Amino acid sequence: MPIHPLEPQRLYRQIADQLRQLIVSGEFVVGARLPAERDLAKQLGVSRPSVREALIAMEVEGWVEVRTGSGVYVLERNSTDRPGAVAPTEWGPLELIRARRVVEGEIAALAAVQAKRKDLNAIELALQAMRTDANAGRLPLEGDRAFHTAIVQACGNVVLTETVQSFWDSRRGPLFTRLGGYFETVDSWRAAIDEHEAVLLAIRAHDASAARTAMQTHMDNSHARFSVSWRKVKAT
């Protein structure tokens, strides 16, 4: 038998694989509610965010249904009507936010030292666009991207710029899109806009330490917003 090269799997995919096997074996039958995230995390020896990412991947692939205010339920698999698989290269949304905390925290600190007037103007315009969208009841995703892009461009480093752009490309993937559908609201974005303003104020003051802290706080709060219990999310 030929030996095939092994490919490392993201942790959420390993969790999803194991849960799928339990469904196929009949451990969790169609219509059954899966154990709570904290219970699955304890049994699997992983973090709750990793379990959440796995459940979102399974929902995108049609294995389960998340019912806000209730839980996660096993779906019947129809072989003639199955959603596409999540790409093996897709980053987990919550893991992505943790990575952004590290990288963009330092980017904000560097921008505070190097930002010129044109950079500050670009950051301010992006923040204004976010407010305009939120006031109109729209999710300010484009303004958010412009805000973080303007900050990294102030650093004058193409590697950092392309890194932040890769973060945003992943943010538009099916996992982050599905997760955002549950937890992103105009109200949650209003809180995020206040956090963005704190970042801008620190950069404008050329306070690298404050800029780093403000960006890290924003990422911590974003992670917390996406980690709320399913049962506390308002059903639509």
Q: What percent of the chain has pLDDT over 90?
A: 76
Question: So what's the pLDDT on residue 92?
Answer: 93
Q: Average pLDDT for residues 142-163, to the nearest whole number?
A: 97
Question: So what's the pLDDT on residue 236?
Answer: 42
Find tokens 């890290």 and name the residue: 216
pLDDT at 212 over 50: yes
**What's the mean per-residue pLDDT of the chain?**
90
Distance between CA atoms of residues 140 and 128, nearest Å: 10
Burial string for 66-94 (b: 16+ CB within 10 Å, else e) reads beeeebbbbeeeeeeeeeeebeeebbbbb
Out of 82-91, 120-129, 150-159, least confident range: 82-91
pLDDT at 123 over 80: yes
Decide if 126 contacts 150 (C-beta within 8 A).
yes
Q: Where in the chain is the domain with CATH 1.20.120.530?
A: 93-232
Question: So what's the pLDDT on residue 234?
Answer: 55
pLDDT at 231 over 70: no
Banded pLDDT at 85 (limits 50, 70, 90): confident
pLDDT at 4 over 60: no
Q: Which fold has domain 93-232?
A: Four Helix Bundle (Hemerythrin (Met), subunit A) (1.20.120)
Q: Where in the chain is the domain with CATH 1.10.10.10?
A: 11-74
Q: Which fold has domain 11-74?
A: Arc Repressor Mutant, subunit A (1.10.10)
Decide if 193 contacts 131 (C-beta within 8 A).
yes
Within the chain, strands assigned E span 64-67, 71-74
Question: So what's the pLDDT on residue 13?
Answer: 92
Tell me phi and psi for residue 205, to 5 degrees.
-80, 0
Cβ-Cβ contacts under 8 Å for 226 (sequence gap 6 or more)? 52, 93, 94, 97, 179, 180, 183
